[in-house]
Structures are given as C-alpha cells and as structure tokens.
Amino acid sequence: MAPTILIAGATGNTGRRLTETLPGLLKANNALCDHRIIALTRSLASPAAQDLAKLPGVEVIEQNWVGITSDWLQEQQVVRAFMASHNEPNQFAEESAFYINALNAGVKYVVRISTTAANVRPDCKAYYPRSHWAIESLLGQPEFAGLHWTSLQSNIFASFWLSSAVQLIQEYRQTGKQGPLRLMAAKDAPVGVIDSSEVGVFAAHLLAYSDTAVHNKAKYVLNGPEDITGKQIVDLVEQYIGTKVDEVIYQDTTAIDLLWDYKYKAAGQSKNVIMTTKYAMDTAWAGKCTTSTTSKEVLQIAAPKSRPANVLRDLLGETN
C-alpha cells in the first residue's frame, strides 16, 4: 500500500477544495507523486462525497474521524493528515485524541484548521478559541516532536459573515418585502473575511510540500484580500435589491440564541458555555481582524483572491 494523505472533513467548507486541489500538486512533486489520498465522509451517498470520488487519485471512505485509532492509521499507512475539527465543547478531547493516535501511528505531518488569530489565546471569553489555543499548546510540547504540524488561524468565513445579506436579497426578490438586515458585522469596523475554499487551497499546498520542517509549528494567519465593514455589506445588498435597506441591526448575535434553542439545548450542553460564543466577535468589532494581519507565507504560497463582493455573488448563484 502506498503512503497516504488523510483528509478529515473532506466534504466541508475547507476540505472539499483541498481535496480537489491536492492531486494535481502531488502529481507535480516527484517526492510525493506516489502518495494516495483518502477523503473521509460521514455519508458516501452525499452529493459532495460522490463528486470527490470522481477525482483521480482520491479514495472516499465513510468514516467519522473521531473514531479513528492508531491501528487504523497504521493499516492505511497515513503519513500526513488534514484536520478540520468541529467546535463543540468536547473539541479538545476528541481532536487531541486524534493527535495522540497520529503520533503513536507514526504520522509525520498534520495541517489543522484553527480559528481567528486574535481569539486564539488562553483568556478568550469565547470557549472554542481556547480549545484551539490548548490544541496548539499541546502540539508544541516536546512529547510531540515526532509529529510536525501547522495551524491555520483563518479569519471569519465570508459565507458566514454574509449569510444574512444573502437571505435578505433572496427574500426580497421572491416577495418584494424585506425584514431587518441582521449583521454580525459592526458598522464601521473592517474585517478581512476569507472564502473558506481558499483556506483549503493553502492547506493543499502545505500538504504537498516536500520538507514539512519548513512549516513545522507554524501558526499562519489567513484573511481575504480585502476588508469589509458592516456599512459596505449594506451597500452591496442595496445594489442587488435596487432600493434602500429599511432596517439594519449591526453587531447582531441572535443567531447564537437560535443555535442554543435548536441544537445545544436538546443536547444537554451548558448554556453558560455556548453563549460565550457571542464574545468571539469582539475582536472583529474592535478592528483586530483586518487583512493587514495576514502571514507573509500565505501571500507567497497561495494568496487568497476572492473579495467579499465575489463571494456574495457566488452565494447568490450568479457566478460568471
């Protein structure tokens, strides 16, 4: 069996574009051209999984990454891996278990998705950035010297930041009416939101890099190529609907309340913990998440190109 690169979360926001990009990069690298790619999915019947299965050199397997053991990794001869973990309250327990198993199985390199760089610290009020900080701290310990790793501290995904704008435009086109435009963005704070697919492209380049020591223990900050404020999002919406937006609510976090009501409450999670998610936007509102923070290595290797206006157009299905 050939040495294997494992992609956990292959059908997700970042994993799909990574899986599409990686085969071509491996083919062009003599040192890695014999590596096979395993893309994990929770359902082989999903359209995304079926599309990935058509890619040359990609084997799609129905497997939840949280159930992967050291024996499984050794059987599949996994030498490199991509990890896009969930951000549930038990993230640290499950993601760290994967790295323990990877270390014991002889995996040599992992590229993982982190979160907004300004939040990855031990005193962040939001719970999940602390989990990312803890994971990065864990991997940085001497005991993990045998496992090279890179953490991608990607900024807010543009699709998430623009979702309410998409909803209002679509509803107005269908009904001619508009409700309030609820934006998580602050009116005047610039944020370098990024297209999640471009995070996947950058991750693919790292996984296809011959010498992983170059990127070992690196924490790369990824932003899109252009900042956008809440007011600029409103301007884009008005261009699409051809009239003024009647009501705008900036710095809106009611989506977190809905997430609690419809997901976490029934699951028995701690409301006190889940509601701290609202604090994750504080750094964006304070202007600490701009394109100026992008790591130079990102710009050198695979600079993001998709601007917020382009992402909005794509989300509306109006790609040229």
Query: What dihedral do alpha carbons 8, 10, 16, 20 form, nearest 10°?
Result: 90
Cβ 238 vs Cβ 244: under 8 Å: yes
pLDDT tens-digit profile of 152-183?
999 999 999 999 999 999 999 999 999 999 99
For residue 319, name the pLDDT band (cuts at 50, 70, 90): low
What would the DSSP string read from start to end of the chain?
Answer: ---EEEEETTTSTTHHHHHHHHHHHHHT-TTTTT-EEEEEES-TTSHHHHHHTTSTTEEEEE--GGG--HHHHHHTTEEEEEE----STTHHHHHHHHHHHHHHHT--EEEEE---GGG-STT-SSHHHHHHHHHHHHHTSGGGTTSEEEEEEE--BHHHHTHHHHHHHHHHHHHS----EE-SS-SS--B--B-HHHHHHHHHHHHT-S-GGGGTTEEEEE--SS-B-HHHHHHHHHHHHTS--S-EE-S--HHHHHHIIIIITTTT--HHHHGGGGGGGHHHHTT-S-GGG--HHHHHHH-----HHHHHHHHTT---
For residue 243, name the pLDDT band (cuts at 50, 70, 90): very high
The mean pLDDT of the chain is 96
Top-confidence residue, 30 or 243: 243
Would you state the pLDDT for residue 235? 98
Domains of the chain with bracketed CATH: 4-155+195-223+291-304 (3.40.50.720), 160-189+226-285 (no CATH)
**Closest C-alpha among 150, 146, 136 to residue 105:** 146
Per-residue pLDDT, averaged over 214-242, amounts to: 98
Per-residue pLDDT, averaged over 245-255, amounts to: 97
pLDDT of residue 197 exceeding 80, the answer is yes
For residue 31, name the pLDDT band (cuts at 50, 70, 90): confident
pLDDT of residue 221 exceeding 90, the answer is yes
Token pair 């471009």 is found at 198
pLDDT of residue 320 exceeding 80, the answer is no
* Other Cβ atoms within 10 Å of 15 Cβ, number: 28
Per-residue pLDDT, averaged over 278-296, amounts to: 98
pTM of the model: 0.96
For residue 4, name the pLDDT band (cuts at 50, 70, 90): very high
Over pLDDT 90: what percentage of the chain?
A: 94
Would you state the pLDDT for residue 50? 92
Per-residue pLDDT, averaged over 210-236, amounts to: 98
Would you state the pLDDT for residue 208? 97
Over pLDDT 70: what percentage of the chain?
A: 99
Phi and psi at residue 268, in whole multiples of 5°?
A: 75, 20
Cα Rg of the chain (Å, integer): 20
Would you state the pLDDT for residue 30? 85
Would you state the pLDDT for residue 1? 74
C-beta contacts of 298-304 below 8 A and 24+ residues apart: 298/202, 298/220, 298/221, 298/222, 301/202, 301/205, 301/206, 302/198, 302/201, 302/202, 302/205, 303/225, 304/194, 304/195, 304/198, 304/202, 304/222, 304/223, 304/224, 304/225
**Closest C-alpha among 201, 190, 219 to residue 306:** 201
Would you state the pLDDT for residue 318? 87
Token pair 């059987």 is found at 75
pLDDT of residue 214 exceeding 90, the answer is yes
**Closest C-alpha among 190, 191, 194, 200 to residue 222:** 194
Per-residue pLDDT, averaged over 254-281, amounts to: 95
pLDDT tens-digit profile of 96-154?
999 999 999 999 999 999 999 999 999 999 999 999 999 999 999 999 999 999 999 99
Per-residue pLDDT, averaged over 47-70, amounts to: 94
